[in-house]
Amino acid sequence: MTDLCNPKSKIENSAMASPVAHSLIGLALGLIRFLSGYRSWDGLAGQFRALWRPLLFCVLLANAPDLDYFFGIFRGNANYYHQTVTHTLVWIYVLALAIWTYGWLRERRASWLSLGLLLALLGSHLLVDWLTVDRSPPIGLTLAWPFADHIYHAAFAFIPPPAKQNWAAVWSLQNLRLALVEMVITLPLVIIVLWFKRRRDAG
């Protein structure tokens, strides 16, 4: 079975979507869960001011699997651990359950709906990466690790991967264009949620 923490099993530039796609999907899921119906833009703005903490938490959690970059930085290669342990279903379930348990112990009122939201937020990250174009073998994610080392990747992947070979590439014009493409793909999800949440007066 593949050792996910062995650098020989890792590529130098594994594919991933940028934080733009992950953040907007996390925001859309947060709005579904926390935003009440509204009738005016002022009402919507007021709810955003009141809900900024849980919405920010949703955005951060949707990006959480990419924390593996920080561990790689200390090895001199940000991709050293990328798309390894934190990009598996086991890690998703363990982290979601840990956060849910912490909430239950602190508030004594964590619901199964909250656990579902946590799983959806973390799982959305894997879904987006699964749909991201990957041209560097091994192609895809080892979602079932440590039980299996099969690599999963969508045959119809359509999200373009950003360049991240070095800091200059990360902040390149090419990546700005790709971030705009991701926004075009995922921002409509936020707009659709806002549209459905808006209350319309009868008559």
Q: What is the pLDDT along the chain (203 residues), one digit of tens a residue?
A: 455 555 434 444 455 778 999 999 999 999 999 999 999 999 999 999 999 999 999 999 999 998 887 766 666 666 666 677 899 999 999 999 999 999 888 877 778 889 999 999 999 999 999 999 887 777 888 899 889 888 888 888 888 877 766 666 667 888 888 889 999 999 999 999 999 999 865 44
Query: How far is the C-alpha of 109 from the C-alpha of 100, rounded, in Å?
Result: 10
Predicted model pTM: 0.85
Residue by residue, DSSP assigns 52-103 as HHHHHHHHHHHHGGGGHHHHHHTTT-TTSSTTSGGGSHHHHHHHHHHHHHHH
Asked if residue 46 lies in contact with residue 66, where contact means CB atoms within 8 angstroms, the answer is no
Length of the chain: 203
Query: How far is the C-alpha of 52 from the C-alpha of 66, rounded, in Å?
Result: 22
